[in-house]
Structure 1
Amino acid sequence: MLTLAAVPILPLTNTSQAEEAVPHADASTHVVETVAAGLDHPWSVAILPDGRRLVTLRQGQLLSIAASGTRSWINLDGLPPIHREGTSGLMEIVLDPDFPGNGLVYLTMSHGETGANGTRLVRAKLAEDRLEDIRILFDSTPKASDGNNGGRVAFLRDHTLILTLGDGNVWREEAQNLSNHLGKLVRLDREGNPPSDNPFVGNPDAAPEILSLGHRNVQGVTVDPADGSLLISEHGPRGGDEINLIRPGGNYGWPIVTGGLDYSFAKVSPFQRLDGYESPVLEWTPSIAPAGLAIYDGALFPEWRGDLLVPALKERGVRRIKRENGRIIGQEILLADRDERMRDVKVAPDGSIHILTDGPNANLLRLTRPVPTQ
């Protein structure tokens, strides 16, 4: 049976009053560089060993940005058709754990049509300025509405991958239905197959790819380099945004258990905690709209090691969630002065932090340590 490392995380639930008290980070602790400006709805950034950054654009383009700032397009001929509607389109790009040797990348995209669309996982080989050997690895259960796609990818230590999937919005009760992929995390091998130790393999009423269920829309996923534990950031509706520590086979409650309100301000559920359902380790009400997740493990900011970084769309900043020995001890907000929606965050090999903002005129930012004055 698959096991994921567990860490002692102190639950820290924020009320509206507590949210007002969250401090802004001291701007003198970091320098913000604009690597690229004028990006049209970027969604994900991956950092290549040679220093290039690959950025997906939601309408279906892949941009390469050299260390010098020079831009070029990656040829996507042969990529399957992408469903583009609302917030649906080309989403994630992630490097294979053995990328330096095999050149493989993984992309997610919406596919299908309005009224019947899902999230697709594709693998391809990056060959300089084009993708080769493009292969569809996985298609999720179709849903009736656009959006709530999930679409983030992370690799576990055993090199199996986690793909996050949303609940389909209008079919949110399906997040509790084990026979489909809606509102689930799925675990696959690098060929797109469910590993034999997935928690629901052998259950005739369950999709064998499922790792956990009861999610609304997971748009952040990361593996803790310290212990291999899997954490996600999850959109609630109006409130009820969450950080969750994933247990194989765990049920995370949506929509039976949630701290969020519906968009009409009606209660989604009377239950915020319930036996048999996993509780979040951190919850935000009102919503900040967490759109990504990373754990800082670089050398530039040693005092940040082990902290979570959460880009927030609605809040227009990046949350730094401070941890000590795996316990959450506080929060602060980075980049709030820019007043930009934040879409993605990645930690580069040199310890710098790359952040994508969101929208039709977005930026790729790089955070570094100030150079000491002589």
Structure 2
Amino acid sequence: MNRRQFTLVAASVIAAPAVARAQDMFKTSKHTLRLVTLTSGLEQPWGMAFLPDGRMLITERPGRLRVFANGRLDPTPLPGVPRVVASGQGGLLDVCLHPDFAQNRVLYLSYSGEGAGGSATTVARAEWGDGGLRSVTRIFEALPRASGGLHFGSRIAFDRTGLMYVTTGERYNKPRAQDPGDLGGKVVRLRDDGTVPPDNPFVGRAGARPEIFTWGHRNPQGLAVHPETGKVWEIEHGPRGGDELNILKAGANYGWPKATAGIDYNGSIISPYKTLPGMEDPIRTWVPSISPSGLCFYTGTAFPGWKGSLFTGGLSANALFRIELDGARYIGEERLIEGRLPYIRDVRQGPDGMLYLVTHSDKGGLFRLEPA
């Protein structure tokens, strides 16, 4: 199937305009757009991925993987999902297809997995079958495990070379982010089978975990690969203030909690430093927090004025953020559909060039932004 055929098939599968319900019209600086509700039958959706035929996979935090196709949500969850610890912020989180999914039918799930000592951010590799998932294998855990249900990170992305990046939160335990012997508060880089690439920056370093690509992160909940440079971009939650947008560099320390623009929830100072020598400064910092989640570069043609923009959901800001860039430089941003959707957890560009959003609530939904 060539690219044009794929686009036509995918658009026909996900569009189904007869059952979509138009909501509101919004005027932005570049486009007038329409927000369409595709389904409101999701419970705490977290991640999305488009299959080659245009069907969409959606995770629900309590532990279900759902299929949306032909304008409808399949009422039966897919079998084969691994057992998750659905407590606090933990549960079934991201879903990501292997770059060669069309040939090998492999996908990945991130979730809070249990074991001795508590739970940990975990990644499982699975094969897609018509009846559900099979050959489900746990390939990564952000050890050590810990009690509690906070800060799992859990976004997954593949770079152009086929290496997999996974974000891990520091589990609300600040020192973990600065410990190279601990996998909490990191972005790890793995081969597609979970083994460690030999050129990872901490390979062979005493007292350090070889999976680590970057460290000093708090709770990173967005990953995206730049469509031109191939660099991996990451976005993370600060405490009260101090959310960050970063470009990942091998071996770099991103500061948490030694350098931060945020303060603790009780108002106390976490660090007197917003920047420190030897630590990477963010591209953009938000004070007060917007609680960013999900991250994607827009490369489509449906919204030509947005090409090259970066999008993220703002959980606490109740908005979708469009970030304008000049290469690696932050230019400005625009808040879209502000106040219309609570808790935008993920944003993805569909094969039709539209933007798709999920909202994280017990009555969560799947939404599409279209040109009006």
TM superposition score normalised by structure 1: 0.89
Q: Which residue of 2 aligns with 1:43?
A: 46
Cα distance in 2 for partners of 1:183, 1:68 equals 38
What is the aligned counterpart of 2:154 among 147, 151, 155? 151
Pick from 324, 328, 344: which aligns with 2:346? 344
Alignment map for 1:148-187 (pairs within 5 Å): 148-169=151-172, 171-187=173-189
SS in 2 for 1:187: strand
1:85 maps to which residue? 87
Q: Deviations over 1:96-147 (max 9, x none)?
A: 1011111111001101269621011001111124001111111111123211
Match of 1:217 among 216, 219, 224: 219
* Structure 1 unaligned residues grouped into runs of 5+: 1-22
Which of 200-209 and 331-340 deviates more? 331-340
Matches within 5 A, 1:308-347: 308-347=310-349
Q: Aligned Cα RMSD in Å?
A: 1.7
Tell me what 1:6 maps to. none
| Higher relative contact order (CA closer than 8 Å, sequence separation 6+) | 1
Specify the alignment match of 1:10 in structure 2.
none
Q: Which moved more, 1:320-329 or 1:46-55?
A: 320-329
Moved more, 151-160 or 43-52: 43-52
1:342 maps to a residue whose letter is I
Q: % of aligned pairs identical? A: 38
How many residue pairs align between the two structures?
346
Segments ≥4 residues shifted beyond 6 Å: none
Q: Distance in 1 between matches of 2:107 and 2:306?
A: 28
Is 1:268 the counterpart of 2:270? The answer is yes
Q: Which residue, out of 286, 299, 312, partners 1:297?
A: 299
Residues 245, 284 of structure 2: 8 Å contact kept: yes
**Structure 2, unaligned stretches of length 5 or more?**
1-25
8 Å CA contact 2:61, 2:92 repeated in 1: yes
Deviation at 1:332, TM superposition (A): 0.5
Cα distance in 2 for residues equivalent to 1:140 and 1:245: 22
The correspondence for 1:67, drawn from 63, 67, 70, is: 70
Aligned-pair distance for 1:74?
Answer: 4.0
The alpha-carbon deviation at position 285 of structure 1 amounts to: 0.5
Q: Distance in 1 between matches of 2:96 and 2:55?
A: 13
**SS across alignment from 1:211:** strand
2:305 aligns to what SS in structure 1?
Answer: helix
Whether the 8 Å CA contact 1:24–1:333 is kept in 2: the answer is no
Shift of 1:299: 1.4
Contact persistence 2:260–2:273 (CA under 8 A) = yes
Check whether the contact 1:202–1:208 (CA below 8 A) recurs between aligned residues. yes
**Helix, strand or coil at the partner of 2:148:** coil
> 2:61 aligned with 1:58, yes or no?
yes
Report the TM-score, using the length of structure 2 for normalisation: 0.90
Q: Distance in 2 between matches of 1:243 and 1:27?
A: 23
1:232 to 234, 238, 243: 234
Counterpart selection for 2:121 from 116, 119, 122:
119
Provide, for residues 47-104 of structure 1, a one-character-per-residue CA deviation record: whole Å limited to 9, x for no partner: 1121211110000011101033242434323x43211111110000011101111111
* Conserved 8 A contact 2:347-2:357: yes
Counterparts of 1:180-195 in structure 2, within 5 Å, are 180-195=182-197
* Change in 2 beyond 3 A, CA 1:30/1:147: same
Contact 1:114 1:145 in 2 (8 A): no
Distance 1:249 1:366 in 2: 37
Q: Residue deviations 1:146-198, cap 9 Å, x none?
A: 110000000011101000000110x2111110011010000000010110000
2: CA distance, partners of 1:355 / 1:295: 14
The 2-side partners of 1:113 and 1:139 are apart by 10
Segment of structure 1 superposing worse, 252-261 or 318-327: 318-327
Shift of 1:24: 8.3
